[in-house]
């Protein structure tokens, strides 16, 4: 929902008292803003009258504003003080580094009006090739790589004075690096656990006669869940009760699958190849394990069994609801008694009490007589009814154990990873495994985030950053709250509630203090039941799986700890939690280009300011808006406001749904599943920009960067454009939707266009999965998007209206941009516009009419929507 009004509106209405000199606003900004037009919010606001553009004089050319562009507005734009020639140029090391970074990433030879993407990111694109180990590469990924280098240093530092938590983290790391031992032990540790599970039928002689008759699905699912943290066939987890944020409750949901999303199981085209590689991978592993168990080769049996497994999983995939049908948490949520659950979903005799009790007994919890569960996966359970008894116990067991084996491959010797290589290649496009130390660093960090976080903070996080970030949060939040007042599509009562909610958002910045407190035992206690061994990486991993499952299950009878950190400190990401109404900015993202006390505020507002706005806006997106200021799912919207919200969302969904991504086989972006991020992106940049202007207007003094002839606003937008993680295609202002400073492999493009809304797997560790409305990943800092405000387009612009960015006339290009070669500017590398893998999105069905694209200037009517963008962070 939004927030700010349209750009135009913003200028005029804004309550801050800037001086109003005519003609100052930056063009660039405007432009962007316009383009960006905020999420829904924007919609309302625009007063047509005002709208039209502000006048931006004085813009120093670079970001495009030609003189002909004297726009229209009578209003007095707020002034942005332009730097005086030299005197406020900052030449501290932090500023010099920032200037160099920006310069290297951009391509100043490009005309920003013709191709802002190349202008902002051309330098970066020319200098980077996606590494063989990566499926995507961007400024954001580079930050993560650098963070891993720091973690490597601290984890490899052997001092003798470590506290137990840190000793364990280092031990875990060493065991992971102990490849000699891992090779030597080969498949033995895996074979040991197959026994615990009752064997993998495909590798057991006469399984049907031996184990088969005693086999119980309920018990098997419980063992998978509690011992190995694999929630297969039926997902059961403990989480905050959506309707009562102070307690936990049992959730039942549809499960994840072996491949990353359901489409791989039945769609044609490149999906078929992935599916074939997946089956081949399964068969290779089964064949290898049979040999290790001294069973005769039997390719017929292996083929037969594994084909059945894939068939079963295909049925399960078909039974799951696609993500776009799951984004409304209010319709997903069904609380019921255990008895109701059993009556409604009998599943041919599946004993729910037995299953749930078996899971809970692993943490010594007994079911209450009136125990309630929340079912998210109603359609899935209904469909499961028809599948559950179609396959034999053997096939079911083959499948369950396959999911365990699949998960454990990474901890085995090299030949198992080799067996997986082709599948990964087809799936992600990567041809080389990540170097070992990176895998290990990332594994240890995601499993022991508090211990690793304490090392990271000591090494790399300036303590005084916390306060500076808190101030930025306050500023962006204040703008959000003020902007709500200006929304025309929300009534007073809803506005008031929204403001209260925004004011009640609690923030977590950097890291939890206790991890640095030597005397505070809490850190060591978190890991007290872990006892790692340097020679047993595989078993150490099992301990982590079990501990992870138990940590989460144990919460059922505990009240919610509002101070708990939902993510570690050494993470380059940011989050919003609807159940807690909380935003989190781990130390890992509080670094340049996002934030530094040593860089101009323009960069901080365009960087972390934007991320802050994005996360706050998540509290009001299609998911967040269902929760009140205390994190309870409760409808606080008036009919009037809710109706407008829906209408606007619909437009945005269509807009994005009409973008296809050529790199992803021309599949369309999923407008439903990206909606929340699109709303957050649009809102985030607008709030941050507005907050920056306000800060300036209130006397804030910023500094220029050396060697760059960019105004403050241009700095804001350049940093925003370069830093923004864009996991997925985003619509850019000019031309086509693009990824900012980053490239994708096509295989990964195909995957990410389906699975979106997610943070990289290595940072996902809560018991949540794709599509789970609480998944922290939902809150990725997907920054902005300067989108084509298609949704605004219903109001067609007068033919003479011009986009402030470039002074183009709408009528002149039939929707294409007239490509106007910049005078004298030859591309430096003709023919090399973008590296292979660079994203290219093209609106497909949506043939832009002059009014559709770039209608940044239009007056938005109340009913019309704001712009949007698509994009996503991995």
Give the largest Cα separation in the chain, rounded. Answer: 87
- Do you know the residue count of the chain? 874
Count of residues interacting with ligand NAG (CB under 6 A): 23
311 catalytically annotated: no
- CA 318 centroid distance within chain: 25
Residue 152 interacting entry, from Zn ion, ligand NAG, none, C-beta within 5 to 8 Å by type: none
Min separation Cβ 205 and ligand NAG, Å: 31
- Enter the tokens of residue 520: 């505070």
Nearer to ligand NAG, 246 or 392 (CB): 246
* 330 near ligand NAG, judged by CB under 6 A: no
Report DSSP state, residue 306: H
Nearer to ligand NAG, 284 or 411 (CB): 411
Min separation Cβ 559 and ligand NAG, Å: 6
Applying CB under 6 A, among 44, 512, 631, 671 the residue interacting with ligand NAG is 671
Nearer to ligand NAG, 91 or 639 (CB): 639
Q: What angle do CA 260, 656, 118 make, to 5 degrees?
A: 95
* 780 near Zn ion, judged by CB under 5 A: yes
Query: Who contacts 530 (Cβ-Cβ below 8 Å, separation ≥6)?
Result: 168, 543, 544, 547
* Nearest residue to 740 (alpha-carbon basis) of 706, 783, 776, 689: 783
* Distance (Å, whole) CA 3 – CA 683: 6
Whether the bond into 33 is cis, omega within 30 of 0: no
Residue 680 interacting entry, from Zn ion, ligand NAG, none, C-beta within 5 to 8 Å by type: Zn ion
Residue 780 interacting entry, from Zn ion, ligand NAG, none, C-beta within 5 to 8 Å by type: Zn ion
Min separation Cβ 176 and ligand NAG, Å: 17
* 335 near ligand NAG, judged by CB under 6 A: no
Stretch that binds Zn ion, among 374-382, 387-395, 547-555, 776-784 (CB under 5 A): 776-784
Contacts to ligand NAG from residues 151-170, by CB under 6 A: 153, 157, 159
Q: How far is CA 191 from CA 293, 297, 413, 587, in A?
A: 8, 17, 13, 40
Applying CB under 6 A, among 196, 799, 825, 845 the residue interacting with ligand NAG is 845
Contacts to Zn ion from residues 460-519, by CB under 5 A: none
* Distance (Å, whole) CA 679 – CA 580: 20
Query: Who contacts 663 (Cβ-Cβ below 8 Å, separation ≥6)?
Result: 744, 746, 749, 750, 837, 839, 840
Count the Cβ atoms, other than its own, within 10 Å of residue 181.
16
Nearer to ligand NAG, 81 or 657 (CB): 657
Min separation Cβ 780 and Zn ion, Å: 5
* Distance (Å, whole) CA 291 – CA 283: 12
- Enter the tokens of residue 147: 């963070």
Stretch that binds Zn ion, among 206-214, 365-373, 532-540, 669-677 (CB under 5 A): 669-677
Q: Which of 235, 677, 681, 747 is catalytic?
A: 681
Interface pattern 557-596 for ligand NAG (x via CB under 6 A): --x-------------------------------------
* 166 near Zn ion, judged by CB under 5 A: no
Contacts to ligand NAG from residues 266-295, by CB under 6 A: 266
Applying CB under 6 A, among 152, 247, 335, 546 the residue interacting with ligand NAG is 247
Nearer to ligand NAG, 351 or 392 (CB): 351
Nearer to ligand NAG, 627 or 763 (CB): 627
Interface pattern 726-765 for Zn ion (x via CB under 5 A): ----------------------------------------
Min separation Cβ 318 and ligand NAG, Å: 4
* Distance (Å, whole) CA 419 – CA 285: 7
DSSP H/E element including 144: helix 139-156
Min separation Cβ 291 and ligand NAG, Å: 30
Stretch that binds Zn ion, among 265-273, 291-299, 675-683, 742-750 (CB under 5 A): 675-683
Contact of 741 with 125, CB cutoff 8 Å: yes
* 244 near ligand NAG, judged by CB under 6 A: yes
Applying CB under 6 A, among 58, 293, 354, 822 the residue interacting with ligand NAG is 354
Residue 266 interacting entry, from Zn ion, ligand NAG, none, C-beta within 5 to 8 Å by type: ligand NAG
Nearer to ligand NAG, 150 or 833 (CB): 150
Nearer to Zn ion, 560 or 779 (CB): 779
Strands across the sheet containing 841-843: 667-668, 659-661, 841-843
Count the Cβ atoms, other than its own, within 10 Å of residue 337.
13
Q: Which of 148, 486, 615, 702 is catalytic?
A: 615
Applying CB under 6 A, among 92, 639, 666, 816 the residue interacting with ligand NAG is 639
* Distance (Å, whole) CA 287 – CA 395: 17
Contact of 175 with 535, CB cutoff 8 Å: yes
Burial letters 502-524, b for 16+ CB under 10 A, else e: beebebbbbbbebbbeeeeeebb
* 353 near ligand NAG, judged by CB under 6 A: yes
Contact of 669 with 749, CB cutoff 8 Å: no
**818 exposed, middle or buried (CB, 10 Å; 0-12, 13-18, 19+)?**
exposed
Contact of 201 with 489, CB cutoff 8 Å: no
3-state secondary structure of 552: helix
Q: For residue 48, is it left (φ>0), alpha (ψ between -120 and 50) or beta?
A: alpha
Stretch that binds Zn ion, among 155-163, 175-183, 771-779, 785-793 (CB under 5 A): 771-779
Residue 97 interacting entry, from ligand NAG, Zn ion, none, C-beta within 5 to 8 Å by type: none
Helix, strand, coil distribution of the chain in percent, nearest 5: 50, 5, 45
Nearer to Zn ion, 220 or 508 (CB): 508
* 589 near Zn ion, judged by CB under 5 A: no
Helix axes 188-196, 393-408, angle to 10 degrees: 140
Nearer to ligand NAG, 153 or 212 (CB): 153
Stretch that binds ligand NAG, among 486-494, 652-660, 724-732, 764-772 (CB under 6 A): 652-660
| Position of minimal CB gap to ligand NAG | 657
615 catalytically annotated: yes
* Nearest residue to 776 (alpha-carbon basis) of 784, 765, 789: 765
Applying CB under 6 A, among 649, 658, 667, 726 the residue interacting with ligand NAG is 658
Applying CB under 6 A, among 66, 246, 280, 392 the residue interacting with ligand NAG is 246
Stretch that binds ligand NAG, among 142-150, 242-250, 480-488, 549-557 (CB under 6 A): 242-250
Query: Who contacts 657 (Cβ-Cβ below 8 Å, separation ≥6)?
Result: 668, 669, 670, 671, 672
Beta bridge partners of 235: 253
Contacts to ligand NAG from residues 495-554, by CB under 6 A: 531, 533
Query: Who contacts 110 (Cβ-Cβ below 8 Å, separation ≥6)?
Result: 118, 119, 122, 822, 825, 827
**435 exposed, middle or buried (CB, 10 Å; 0-12, 13-18, 19+)?**
exposed
Stretch that binds Zn ion, among 34-42, 86-94, 590-598, 772-780 (CB under 5 A): 772-780
Applying CB under 5 A, among 680, 793, 853, 860 the residue interacting with Zn ion is 680
Q: What angle do CA 283, 302, 418 make, to 5 degrees?
A: 20
Please report, as ranges, the residues that interact with ligand NAG according to CB under 6 A: 153, 157, 159, 244, 246-247, 266, 315, 318, 351, 353-354, 357, 531, 533, 559, 639, 654, 657-658, 668, 671, 845
> What positions carry a catalytic annotation?
615, 681
Please report, as ranges, the residues that interact with Zn ion according to CB under 5 A: 677, 680, 779-780, 782
């Amino acid at each position: 929902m939004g927030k700010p009004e349209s750009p135009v509106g913003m200028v005029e209405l804004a309550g801050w008292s800037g001086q109003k000199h005519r003609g100052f606003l930056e063009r660039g900004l405007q432009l962007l803003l316009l383009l960006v037009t905020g999420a829904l919010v924007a919609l309302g606001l625009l007063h047509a009258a005002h709208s039209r553009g502000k006048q931006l004089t004085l813009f120093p050319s670079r970001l495009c504003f030609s003189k002909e562009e004297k726009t229209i507005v009578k209003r007095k734009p707020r002034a942005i003080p332009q730097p005086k020639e030299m005197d406020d140029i900052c030449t501290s090391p932090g500023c010099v580094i920032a200037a160099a970074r920006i310069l290297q990433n951009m391509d100043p030879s490009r005309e920003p009006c013709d191709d802002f993407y190349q202008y902002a990111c051309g330098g970066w694109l020319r200098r980077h090739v996606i590494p063989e180990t990566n499926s995507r590469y961007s400024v954001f990924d580079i930050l993560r790589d650098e963070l891993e280098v720091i973690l490597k240093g601290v984890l490899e530092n052997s001092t003798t004075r470590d506290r137990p938590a840190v000793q364990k983290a280092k031990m875990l790391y060493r065991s992971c690096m102990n490849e000699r031992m891992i090779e030597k032990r080969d498949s033995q540790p895996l074979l040991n656990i197959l026994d615990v599970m009752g064997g993998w039928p495909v590798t057991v002689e006469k399984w049907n006669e031996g184990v088969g008759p005693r086999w119980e699905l309920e018990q098997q699912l419980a063992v998978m869940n509690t011992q190995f943290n694999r929630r297969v066939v039926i997902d059961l987890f403990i989480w905050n009760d959506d309707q009562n944020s102070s307690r936990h409750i049992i959730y039942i949901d549809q499960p994840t699958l072996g491949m990353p999303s359901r489409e791989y199981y039945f769609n044609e085209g490149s999906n078929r190849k992935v599916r074939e590689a997946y089956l081949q991978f399964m068969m290779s592993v089964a064949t290898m394990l049979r040999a290790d168990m001294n069973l005769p080769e039997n390719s017929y049996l292996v083929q037969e069994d594994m084909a059945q497994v894939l068939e079963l999983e295909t049925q399960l995939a078909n039974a799951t609801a696609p993500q776009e049908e799951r984004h409304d948490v209010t319709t997903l949520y069904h609380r019921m008694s255990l008895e109701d659950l059993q009556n409604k979903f009998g599943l041919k005799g599946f004993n729910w009490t037995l299953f749930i009790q078996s899971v809970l007994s692993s943490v010594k919890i007994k079911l209450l007589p009136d125990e309630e569960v929340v079912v998210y996966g109603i359609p899935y359970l209904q469909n499961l009814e028809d599948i559950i008894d179609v396959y034999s116990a053997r096939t079911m067991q083959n499948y369950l154990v396959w999911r365990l084996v699949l998960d454990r491959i990474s901890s085995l010797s090299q030949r198992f990873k080799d067996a997986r290589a082709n599948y990964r290649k087809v799936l992600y496009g990567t041809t080389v495994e990540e170097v070992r130390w990176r895998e290990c660093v990332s594994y240890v960090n995601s499993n022991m985030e508090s211990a690793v976080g304490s090392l990271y903070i000591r090494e790399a996080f300036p303590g005084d950053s916390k306060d500076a970030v808190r101030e930025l949060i306050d500023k962006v939040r204040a703008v959000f709250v003020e902007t709500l007042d200006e929304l025309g599509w929300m009534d007073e009562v809803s506005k008031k509630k929204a403001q209260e909610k925004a004011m009640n958002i609690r923030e977590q910045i950097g890291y939890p203090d206790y991890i640095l407190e030597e005397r505070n035992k809490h850190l060591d206690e978190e890991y007290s039941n872990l006892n790692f061994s340097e020679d047993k990486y595989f078993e150490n991993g099992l301990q982590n799986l079990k501990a992870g499952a138990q940590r989460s299950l144990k919460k059922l009878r505990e009240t919610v700890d509002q101070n708990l950190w939902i993510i570690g400190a050494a993470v380059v990401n940011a989050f919003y939690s609807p159940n807690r109404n909380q935003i989190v900015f781990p130390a890992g993202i509080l670094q340049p280009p996002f934030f530094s006390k040593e860089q101009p505020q323009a960069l901080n507002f365009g960087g972390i300011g934007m991320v802050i706005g994005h996360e706050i806006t998540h509290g009001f997106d299609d998911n967040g808006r269902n929760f009140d200021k205390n994190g309870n799912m409760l409808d606080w919207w008036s009919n009037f406001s809710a109706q407008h919200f829906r209408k606007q969302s619909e437009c945005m969904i269509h807009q994005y749904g009409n973008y296809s991504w050529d790199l992803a086989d021309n599949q369309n972006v999923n407008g439903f599943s990206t909606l929340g991020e699109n709303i957050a992106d649009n809102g985030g940049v607008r709030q941050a920009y507005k907050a920056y202007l306000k800060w300036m207007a209130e006397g804030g003094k910023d500094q220029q960067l050396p060697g760059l002839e960019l105004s403050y606003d241009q700095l804001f937008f350049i940093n925003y454009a370069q830093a923004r993680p864009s996991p997925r295609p985003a619509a850019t202002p000019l031309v086509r939707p693009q990824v900012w400073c980053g490239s994708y492999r096509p295989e990964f493009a195909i995957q990410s266009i389906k699975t979106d809304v997610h943070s990289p797997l290595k940072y996902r560790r809560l018991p949540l999965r794709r599509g789970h409305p609480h998944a922290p990943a939902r809150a990725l800092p997907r920054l902005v998007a300067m989108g084509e405000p298609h949704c605004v387009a219903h109001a067609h612009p007068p033919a003479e209206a011009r986009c402030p960015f470039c002074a183009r006339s709408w009528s002149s290009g039939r929707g294409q941009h007239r490509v106007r070669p910049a005078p004298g500017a030859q591309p430096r590398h003709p023919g090399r516009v973008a590296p292979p893998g660079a994203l290219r999105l093209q609106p497909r069905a949506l043939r832009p009419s002059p009014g559709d694209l770039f209608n940044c200037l239009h007056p938005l009517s109340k009913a019309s929507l704001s712009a949007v963008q698509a994009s996503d962070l991995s």
